[in-house]
Structure 1
Amino acid sequence: MDSRSRFAELLDNAPADAEAIEFEESWTTWGTLQGIDRSLDSVLGEYGHGEGTRVGLILENRPECVAVLLSLIARRRCIVTFSSLQPPERLSADIARADVPVVVGTATALAGDGVRESAGDALVLALGTDAVQVFDDREVRAARQSDISPGVIVEMLTSGTTGPPKRVLLREKQFDTAISTSVPAPPTDSLFRRGVSIVSTPLVHIGGFWGALGPLFAGRRIVLMTKFALEPWLRVITRHRPKATGLVPAALRSILNAGVTADQLDGIEVVTTGTTFCPPELIDDFLETYGIRVLPTYGATEFAGAVAYWTKALHEKWWESKAGSAGRPLPGVTLRVTDENGAEIPAGEQGRLEIRTAQSPVGADSWLRTSDLAVVDADGFLWIRGRADDAIVRGGFKVHPDTVRKVLEQHPSVHEAAVAPRPDDRLGQVPVAGVELEPAEAGTDRAALAKELDGLCRQHLLPYEVPVHIAVVDALPRTPSSKVSRMDLLDVIAADMATSISA
C-alpha cells in the first residue's frame, strides 16, 4: 500500500478513541487527528486549493502538526516545510522565498515578528489542537499554476550545516520506497500493531519526519517530545519499555555523562543513531555500560532518509573489525566510489561516493554523485571520510576541517570542536574554530585554554591549517538535527573575536 492510501485509510477508518500520539504524558486520539484533517481539507477546498497544492507548514513537535502532515499526504497535496526553530527573521525570509499559496502554523508561530507579513497574499491558517481556522480576513490570491506541484509529497529543507538550507523535492516514488524500507508494512488483519516509537528529533529534520510518519504508517503509536531532555525521556522509557529507540550522538553522551544506570534502560536492545557521525568509542562505551548496541545510519534528505545502516546482526558479527563504518547499503541501494573523472575505483580506495536507488531524485537507474568522500571496502561496508566540498581554501592551500577538529579534540578539556571558513580579503578564506568544554571544565580560564589549543595546533598541523581564532564556548550552536551549524558558529566566533579585541 502506498503512503497516500495508507494515511487516507487511517484518517477515514481508524476508531476515534484509538490512541495515536502521546504528548506531554497525554494521548491524542485518532479522532482528534481526523478532526484536524476534516477541518483543513474543508477550508482548503473552499478556497480552491485541491490536489497538488503547495501548503507551507511551520513545523513544531506537536500532535496537531503531525495531523497536518498526515492530512496533506492523504489528500494528495504537497507539504512545504518551514522550521519553527529559526529566529522570526529567518523564518519570514524562508516563507517569502517559498512563495506558497497557503501557510499553516500555530498562533504562536504566526505571531512571530514579520512572519504573517512574509506570507503576503497567501491564505494563512491558524492551527489549533483540534481544527484550523483562517488567521485573518485579508484578501488572498486565487490559485495559480505555480501553486501546484503534482507528484511531490514534500519540499523539505536540508539541515543547513555548511550553508543556507536548500529545498529538496521528495516525490511519491522516493517517499514510498523510503517508507517501505524503514518500517514494517501495515498489518493486513487490522489497522494497528503493538508497540510505541519515541520521537525526540525535530519533525523539520528528515530523521524526526520519518520518526513520526514511519511508525504511524506501520500502525504503531508514537510518543512525541518537543526535544530530547534526559529526565522526560527516561520517564517515557519507564512507561513504555521499548525494545528499540533512536538517539543522536549528543543524546547518547548526555545519558552516559549523567550516570544513568543500566536498570533505567531495561528492555532496550538497540539504539539507532544518525544525523551526524557517531564516534566508535561512544558506541563502545554505550555497549560496555548498558549492553545496548548503537546502530549508525547514513543518509540524506535528498534520498528521503537512510541509504546505509547497521542491523543488530551485522553489529554482533562485524563491529569489532568495522568500528567507525556507516554500515552496509539498505536493500535496493547500490554504492560505488569514483575518482574526480567519475571512473569507478577499486574497493578500499577513497573517492567520491555515488548512490543508485529508487529513493534518489534522479531515479532508480541513475547514479547520483554526492559531496561525500568515502571508501567502500571489500565486504561492502561504507566509510565516510569527509566532504569533497568541505575544504577551506586559504590562499590556495586546502585546509580540511576534520583534520583540525581531531587535533583540537585531543585536549582533555575539549568535549567537541568544529571548524568553519571565515571570509578573508587577502586569502579568500581562513579557518576558525569553536570548542565546546567538557561539563566538568566549566570554570576553565578560557583565554588560557585558547592559547593552549593554539599551541597544540601549531605542534600538530601545517602552518596554514592553524585556525586564526579559537573560541571556547559552553555549547556549540546546532541545527535542529543536532549537527554543528557552521553559519551560526561564524557568528559566535565573530562575537568572541570582538570581545577579545575590546579586552
Structure 2
Amino acid sequence: MSKLRSIIDGVMRLDPDAEAIEFREVWHSWRELTDVIDGLEEIFAANAIGAGSRIAGVLRNTPQIAAAIVGLLISDRCIVTLNPLLPEEKLVADVAALKAPVIFAAAEDWSRDEFRKAAFASKALCLEIPSTAGDPVKVLNALGDGDFRSDAEGIGIEMLTSGTTGTPKRIPLKARNFERMILDAAVFERRDVNETPRLRRAVSILNTPFSHIGGLVGLFICLSAGRRACMLERFQVGPFVAAIERHQPKAVSAPPSGLRMILDADVPKEKLASLSVFRTGTAPLDPDLADAFFDRYGIPVLQNYGATEFAGGVAGWTMQDFKTHGKSCRGSVGRMNPGVEGRVVDAETGDPLPFGESGLLELRAKYLGDGVSWMRTNDIARMDEENFLWILGRADNAIIRGGFKIIPDDVVRSIETHPAVREACVIALPDPRLGEVPAAAYLVKSGQSLEPDALRAYLRERLTPYQVPVQLLQLDEMPRTPSMKVSQPELKKLFEAA
C-alpha cells in the first residue's frame, strides 16, 4: 500500500496537534493517533511481527482503535476482524479458530473474562489499545509458542461478512485491491490523489461499525482526504442528528433502516438543513422510502451497491445522475462505478442476457478476484443500456413453498406499503409438508398499531395466496448485524420461541 501509506502518513503528520477525530464530543489530535501507531510499531519490532503478519483486533468504533487499524494496514500487515457485538461464547470460539499471533482490543473488551482467558490461552501477544491521550499501548500477555497461522502476505483484511442470512464467513481482501478502491473513491470527490496531502476543515460523520467493510472504507476515505471525522459508536437517531447540527456536513450516510428511523422520529427539517445529499447502502432501499425522505426533507437519497466480497461498492448514484435519470431509473442502485463491468447472465447456462432481462449478476474489475475473470454474485439483477443496475433480490434466499418460488423482497415491499408499517423482514421457516414457508416480522411506526390478522387481510388483497406469510410477528425492534441489516438467524430464533 505504498501510495495510500504515503498519503495517510503525510496527512497525519502535517499538523500533529490539529483536531482529527471527535468522539463523544471530545476532539482527539493527529498526535494521539500517531502515538498509538508508533507504540504498536515498537512492540511489533520487539516481537518480530513484520509485514504480512495476521493481527486480530476487536474493532470498536473509537479513535484509538481507528489508529491501530490505519497503522496496521499501511504497514502491510493483515487485520483479522473480531466483532465486539458478538456474544462472548461466539467471540471465544472465533479467537480459538483464528490462531492469530497477535490480538488487540480496548480495555472494555479485555474486561470480558472468557474472551481474555481464551486470548491468553492461545499464547498470542495480547495488546490493550489505550482510550486516554498519553497512555501507552499495553502488553497484557507476552507472545508464546502457540499454534499460530501467522502469514497472510498480500492480504489486507480478513473481513467477516455481516451474517445477514446465516453464519458469518471471513473473506480475505487483497491489500492492493483495498488500496485501489480507496484511491478510486477520490474520483467521486473530484480529488487528485497525486496532490500534496493537506488538512481540510470539513467533517465526515462516521457511524458504520469498523467490523463492517463500509466502516473501514469510510475511515480510510475520510483520512486520506485530510478531513476531520466525527465518530459515532453506531447509528442512533439522536447522536446522528446532533452531529449533523454540530458540524453542518453536506453529505452523510446511513443504512435504509436509518432513514426509516429519522422519518419515524419526525426529525424537524431544519435540523438536517446543511445536507445536500444522503447516501445509503448495505441493504436494499425501497424507492418509496427514498421518495418519502425526499418529500419530507428535500434531500436526495443516493444508493450504492456493494458487498464484503467486493471490498466495498461497485455501483452507485452520483448527484448528476440523480438530476438527469432519477425518475426514469427509479429503484436502481445507480450506475456501475468507473473501472467496474457488469453483466446479467442466465442462471443455468451462464449465457449473457439482453439489457432489461433479469438473471444473475456478474462483475469484473481489476480489484475483484484475479482482475480478469467474471465474478458471479447471488444477486438477481437487470441492467439497461446506460449501465444502470437494478437489484431484484437474491437467488440464494428464495423460498420454495410446495414448488412455488417466493422472493422475500417482493413480500417485504407489499408489507411496507401498509401506512402503519415502518419496516419488515421475511424469512423461510421449515415446514414438513411444503418444505418451507414464509414468515414475516414487522415494526410499526410511532403512534400506530397493527394486529397480525389485520396485516394478513391487507396482504391477501395484494399477494398471491402462496406468498402470504404463514406467521406474522410484530416486534419492538429487529435483531441486527453490525451493519444494521436484519439478522435472519436471530429473527428465526424469535419465531421458534414465539
Aligned match of 1:3: 4
Aligned in 2, Cα 1:62/1:165: closer, same or farther, shift over 3 Å?
same
1:160 aligns with 2:163: yes
Name the CA distance, whole Å, in 1 between partners of 2:316 and 2:269: 25
Greater Cα shift, 384-393 or 128-137 = 128-137
**Gaps in structure 1 of 5+ consecutive residues:** 497-503
Distance apart, 1:136 and its partner CA? 3.7
Asked if residue 27 in structure 1 is aligned to residue 27 in structure 2, the reply is yes
Match of 1:359 among 353, 363, 367: 367
**Contact 2:128/2:139 (8 A) holds in 1:** yes
Alignment check: 8 A CA contact 1:52 1:151 kept: yes
* Aligned length, in residue pairs: 487
Residues 21, 221 of structure 1: 8 Å contact kept: yes
Contact 2:411 2:426 in 1 (8 A): yes
Deviations 1:319-352 (A, max 9, x none): 1111110110111011100002111010000010
Match of 1:501 in 2: none
Partner of 1:347: 355
CA distance in 1, matches of 2:414, 2:197: 55
2:479 matched residue in structure 1: 477
Q: How does 1:6-405 map to 2 (within 5 A)?
A: 6-10=7-11, 13-119=13-119, 120-129=122-131, 130-136=135-141, 140-141=144-145, 146-183=149-186, 184-186=191-193, 188-340=195-347, 341-360=349-368, 362-405=369-412
2:22–2:231 CA contact under 8 A, matched in 1: yes
Query: For residues 129-174 of structure 1, what are the alpha-carbon distances to aligned partners after superposition, in whole Å with 9 as ceiling and x for unaligned?
Result: 243212246x622686x31101111111111111111111111221
The alignment yields a C-alpha RMSD, in angstroms, of: 2.1
For 2:410 and 2:291, the matched residues in 1 are separated by 23
Say if 1:386 and 1:402, in contact at 8 Å, map to a contact too.
yes
User: What amino acid maps onto 1:141 in structure 2?
Assistant: D
Change (3 A) 1:462 1:190: closer
Q: 1:371 & 1:190 partners in 2: Cα distance? A: 40
Taking the aligned partners of 1:166 and 1:383, their CA distance within structure 2 comes to 26
* Cα distance between partner residues in 1 of 2:392 and 2:362: 14
Which stretch has the larger CA shift, 405-414 or 482-491? Answer: 405-414
Measure how far apart 1:427 and its partner are.
4.4
Of 292-301 and 414-423, deviating more is 414-423
Deviations 1:89-119 (A, max 9, x none): 2222222222211111112112225212333
* Greater mean deviation of Cα atoms: 118-127 or 426-435: 426-435
CA 1:288–1:409 in structure 2 vs 1: closer, same or farther (change >3 Å)? Answer: closer
Question: How far has the Cα of 1:456 moved from its partner?
Answer: 4.0
CA distance in 2, matches of 1:458, 1:243: 43
SS of residue in 2 equivalent to 1:439: coil
Counterpart code for 1:164: T
- Are the counterparts in 1 of residues 16 and 31 from structure 2 also a CA contact under 8 Å? yes
The TM-score normalised by the length of structure 1 is: 0.91
Q: Which moved more, 1:204-213 or 1:149-158?
A: 204-213
Q: Deviations over 1:40-98 (max 9, x none)?
A: 11112222211111001101111011011111012221111111112212222222222
Q: Supply the distance in 1 between the matched residues of 2:304 and 2:26 (Cα, whole angstroms).
A: 31
Per-residue deviation, 1:462: 4.4
Q: How far is 1:457 from its partner?
A: 4.4
Unaligned runs of 5+ in 2: none
Q: Secondary structure at the match of 1:213?
A: helix
Q: Do the aligned partners of residues 118 and 256 (structure 1) sit closer, same or farther apart at CA in structure 2, a change above 3 Å counting?
A: same
1:500: which partner in 2?
none
Q: Which amino acid aligns with 1:350?
A: S
Q: Is the 8 A contact 1:105 1:126 kept in 2?
A: yes
Counterpart CA distance in 2 for 1:162 and 1:114 is 27
Kept in 2, the 8 Å contact 1:48–1:143? The answer is: no
Task: Check the 8 A contact 1:101/1:141 in 2, yes or no.
Answer: no
Query: 1: CA distance between counterparts of 2:89 and 2:304?
Result: 33
* Residues 356 and 365, structure 1, Cα contact 8 Å, conserved in 2: yes
Pair 1:193–1:492, CA change in 2 (3 A): same
Q: Distance in 1 between matches of 2:374 and 2:413?
A: 32
C-alpha change, 1:112 and 1:142, in structure 2 (3 Å) is: closer
Question: What SS is found at the alignment partner of 2:32?
Answer: helix
Q: Distance in 2 between matches of 1:418 and 1:33?
A: 40
The answer to whether residue 451 in structure 2 is matched with residue 413 in structure 1 is: no
Deviates more, 1:259-268 or 1:60-69: 259-268
Q: What do residues 243-302 of structure 1 show as CA deviations (whole Å, max 9, x unaligned)?
A: 212122222223223333333222221111111122222222222332221111011111
Question: In 2, distance between residues paired with 1:124 and 1:110?
Answer: 9
**Aligned AA (1:368):** M
CA distance in 1, matches of 2:294, 2:465: 39
- 1:463 deviates by 4.5
- Percent of residue pairs identical: 41
CA distance in 1: counterparts of 2:419 and 2:202, whole angstroms:
42
Partners of 1:3 and 1:73 within 8 A in 2: no
* DSSP 3-state at the match of 1:321: coil
CA contact (8 A) 1:197 1:221 kept: yes
Greater alpha carbon shift after TM alignment, 397-406 vs 68-77 = 397-406
Secondary structure in structure 2 of the residue aligned to 1:334: strand
1:433-452 superposed matches below 5 A: 433-441=440-448, 449-452=451-454
Call closer, same or farther: CA 1:99–1:142 in 2, change over 3 Å. Answer: closer
Taking a change above 3 Å as real, the CA distance of residues 76 and 495 of structure 1, as seen in their structure-2 partners, is same
Query: Which residue of structure 2 lines up, in the alignment, with residue 494 of structure 1?
Result: 496
Contact 1:413 1:441 in 2 (8 A): yes
1:10-48: per-residue Cα shift (whole Å, max 9, x none)?
A: 45x343202211111111111111111111111122222
